[in-house]
């Protein structure tokens, strides 16, 4: 073992070293040189399996939550439309649309809104505008979203989300 001071110019360095062979052997015994390629591949395979099994379930929950969110929003719009009807004696015309719940339409003297929070009608969970038609084919008005497919697209297994089936979709099974 070497000990002592080294004078290099005007600087002093403390020298303390161990024999080279003993230092390398001690490091190998403790396993501090790193991981082998096989260990890394095993860890990556385990992470890949976890992502492969959990990922699709999480994406399925995300899509289901968007559909439920659209049902809840349509139910909220229906309640706001009912309040509009109580005040104005009619539902907004198709040309006025859902914007009549936020901004006073022309000729709406008995309008007591806004009936929705904010200064604009929110879009559906997929970023598209809700569709409104009064009088509707399924009731006094039709209010619906095309769902994940969007307008003109394939809506997939869910299809359109509409006010004529929203009450059944958001009511718990025991309360129907």
The neighbour count for residue 84, using CB atoms within 10 Å, is 26
| Largest separation between any pair of C-alpha atoms in the chain | 100
- Sign of the C-alpha dihedral computed for residues 23, 26, 28 and 32 taken in this order: negative
Express each pLDDT in 10-30 by its tens digit.
666 555 555 555 555 555 555
Structural element, H or E, at residue 96: none
Distances (CA, A) of 88 to 101, 112, 130: 11, 8, 22
Whether the predicted model's global pTM rises above the 0.75 cut: no
| pLDDT class of 174 with cuts at 50, 70, 90 | very low
Task: Report the range out of 59-63, 75-79, 93-97 with the highest average pLDDT.
Answer: 75-79
Cα separation, 144 vs 175, in Å, equals: 24
> Domains in the chain, start-ordered, CATH in brackets?
39-175 (3.30.700.10)
**Predicted local distance difference test score (pLDDT) of residue 48:** 92
| Mean local confidence (pLDDT), 162-176 | 53
User: What is the pLDDT at residue 128?
Assistant: 87
pLDDT tens, residue by residue, 111-137 = 887 888 888 888 888 888 888 988 888
The shares of helix, strand and coil residues in the chain, as percent rounded to the nearest 5, are 45, 15, 40
Q: What percent of the chain has pLDDT over 90?
A: 7
**For residue 97, what are the contacts with CB-CB under 8 A and spacing of at least 6?**
121, 132
């Amino acid at each position: 073992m070497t000990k002592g001071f080294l004078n290099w110019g005007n600087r002093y360095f403390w020298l303390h070293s161990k024999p080279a062979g003993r230092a390398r052997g001690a490091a190998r015994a403790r396993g501090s040189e790193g991981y082998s390629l096989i260990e890394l591949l095993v860890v990556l395979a385990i992470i890949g399996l976890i992502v492969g099994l959990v990922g699709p379930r999480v994406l399925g929950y995300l899509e289901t939550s968007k559909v439920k969110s659209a049902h809840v929003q349509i139910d909220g719009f229906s309640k706001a439309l009912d309040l509009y009807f109580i005040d104005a004696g009619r539902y907004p015309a198709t040309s006025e649309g859902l914007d009549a719940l936020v901004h006073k339409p022309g000729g709406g003297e008995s309008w007591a809104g806004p009936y929705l929070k904010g200064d604009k009608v929110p879009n559906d969970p997929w970023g598209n505008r809700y569709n409104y038609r009064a009088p509707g084919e399924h009731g006094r008005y039709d209010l619906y979203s095309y769902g994940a497919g969007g307008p003109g697209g394939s809506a997939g297994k869910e299809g359109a989300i509409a006010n004529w089936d929203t009450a059944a979709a958001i009511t718990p099974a025991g309360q129907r």
